[in-house]
Structure 1
Amino acid sequence: MGGEKDGRPGEPRARRRGQGELETQVLTVLGGASEPVTAAWVQERLDGGLSYSTVITILTRLLDKQAVTRTGSGRPVLWQSTANGAGLTAFRMRRLLDQRDDRDAVLSSFVSALSPDDEALLRSLLSDNGPGPAGPPADESES
């Protein structure tokens, strides 16, 4: 049967997950929990039939990133989310930025590549956080 790429006719190839996709899925599951939960509880709610050891590995990586907390030194160990998917992405962005000596160039390139809508959103978010260390912009009049 020439032409079959995986040698199994009729079976679709498994899709490779994107970087950080499993971590985001685990955080989503944890975010739906009303209290700290076990790794087995997380495993049961994840699609894809992940092994228990894979779930533990993901939870441990998230713990290292301070995106989850772990309670209990014995059994059962309970896990709880401290960040959502957006928080985890922000953590990754900060970590990448921290690895560079040329922060100004990296941030400048990032901002220049934003769409006009994203740039407006970023400006709005920055202005909502209040004035920076230099005080309010010079063109603002006092009330």
Structure 2
Amino acid sequence: MGAEGDGRAREPRARRRGQGELEAQVLSVLGEATEPVTAAWVQERLDGGLSYSTVITILTRLLDKQAVARTGSGRPVLWQSTASGAGLTAFRMRRLLDQRDDRDAVLSSFVSALSPDDEDLLRSLLNETGPEPCDPPTDESES
């Protein structure tokens, strides 16, 4: 009979974190630092009692994404944020887009799913940055 049959209460199951949630939490903690910090410093400030090795794994993944920088050739290794949570989300979006051959369809679907307010904001941001400078088109028939 297990714990159900003997009257003991079951421990509630821990909530599974969403993809990227730990990375965002680590970036948030690093954002509070005024100088490069150790992984142990990050671990102490994270909620949830993560193991040191988990914190190192997250920091290493963020390093691969260029969202954090690692300084120091010896011990202790120091870490600092190079990207905000928004920057990390933008990186993920670009990476997902780069994995697809049908960029037009993906971007079209994304824009069509935006709320009117988000669409206005995106339009404003695009107008603000303007088109990338490029060479004027050439008419090859003139050659």
TM-score category of the 2 structures, normalised to the smaller one = 0.7 to 0.9
1:29 maps onto 2:29 in alignment: yes
Alignment match, 2:104: 104
The residue aligned with 1:138 is none
- Gaps of at least 5 residues in structure 2 are 135-143
How many Å separate the matches in 1 of 2:59 and 2:80?
Answer: 10
2:91 match: secondary structure: helix
Deviation at 1:36, TM superposition (A): 0.3
Amino acid at match of 1:89: T
Q: CA deviation at 1:2?
A: 8.7
Residue 116 (str. 1) matches residue 121 (str. 2): no
Secondary structure in 2 matching 1:70: strand
Residue 125 in structure 1 maps to residue 107 in structure 2: no
**Counterpart residue identity of residue 98, structure 1:** D
- In 1, the alpha carbon distance for the partners of 2:101 and 2:36 equals 39
| Percentage of matched positions with identical amino acids | 89
Q: Tell me the equivalent position of 2:20.
A: 20
Per the normalisation by structure 2, the TM-score is 0.86
- 1 CA distance for matches of 2:123 and 2:12? 45
Distance 1:31 1:58 in 2: 15
Q: Runs of 4 or more off by more than 4 Å in structure 1?
A: 1-4
Counterpart CA distance in 1 for 2:8 and 2:79 is 39
Report the 3-state secondary structure (helix = DSSP H, G, I; strand = E; otherwise coil) of the residue aligned with 2:95.
Answer: helix
1:52-91 matches, within 5 Å, as 52-91=52-91
Whole-Å Cα distance in 2 between the matches of residues 42 and 77 of structure 1?
A: 12
| Segment of structure 1 superposing worse, 125-134 or 91-100 | 125-134
Unaligned runs of 5+ in 1: 135-143
The offset of 1:10, in angstroms, is 5.3
Structure with greater Cα Rg: 2
Which residue identity lines up with residue 20 of structure 2 in the other structure? Answer: G
Instruction: Report the number of matched residues.
Output: 132
Aligned with 2:19: secondary structure? coil
Structure 2: distance between partners of 1:34 and 1:46: 17
Look up the SS of the partner of 1:74 in the other structure.
coil
Amino acid at match of 2:119: E
Alpha carbon RMSD of aligned pairs, Å?
2.0
Q: Is the 8 A contact 2:3 2:9 kept in 1?
A: no
Once residues 83 and 35 of structure 1 are traced to their aligned partners in structure 2, the CA distance between those partners, rounded to angstroms, is 15
